[in-house]
A and B are shown apart, each in its own frame.
Chain A
């Protein structure tokens, strides 16, 4: 079963705006990862955040993790057309890595 959901399922914003995507999960995790998938391509790793971390940054990306609420968010600042893609969170718990259903982000010029 899919552990956790992503919200929203789809997001459309204007270029230059910030985009926020959320990921929730149900059981405890060791870490959580965010991936990007361009249409027709494989997944590309963005950020890994461990359960004892609260925030990580990578360029225009900021990921937060709230273990008390069992949720994470991915913020993309100053969005660009090239950010148009699907974004997935993946939760690593006791055993395997479980992917969410993804958020489809569209950046309008």
Chain B
């Protein structure tokens, strides 16, 4: 049981490039979400999904896309990377609606946009 797995762990992008952060969970959780964490700030919600085929925007969705074709996977796409997207990204999943149950986090993806 691997829990929540994120890849890559580290990535450097040039401004304007696109990339996908991968997230997979093996706990059969319906709820998955992506957060970004910036220095001195808590986690801010980017996008979330309540099940396969259903996604919705969080607090800071601009510049990011998500899809949920399967229960297990929830990739986050950066369409055209900007320096403001330099951050640490965390994928998370939970069995019940986010906040009503324990949230399991991945180990994070450190992204630098130059």
A, B from the same assembly: yes
Question: Cβ of B90 and Cβ of A42 under 8 Å apart?
Answer: yes
B58, closest chain A residue (CB): A96
Interface size on A, residues (CB 8 A): 22
Question: Cβ of A96 and Cβ of B106 under 8 Å apart?
Answer: no
B91, closest chain A residue (CB): A42
Given contacts A44-B105, A96-B98, A97-B99, contact A88 B48 (CB under 8 A): no
Q: What are the interface flags for B38-56 relative to A under an 8 Å C-beta threshold, 1 for contact and 0 otherwise? A: 0011111100100000000
Query: B42 contacts which chain A residues (CB < 8 A)?
Result: 2, 88, 98-102
Interface size on B, residues (CB 8 A): 24
Q: What are the interface flags for A83-98 relative to B under an 8 Å C-beta threshold, 1 for contact and 0 otherwise? A: 0000010101000111
Interface hub of A44, A45, A97, A102 (most chain B Cβ within 10 A): A97
Query: B100 contacts which chain A residues (CB < 8 A)?
Result: 30-31, 92
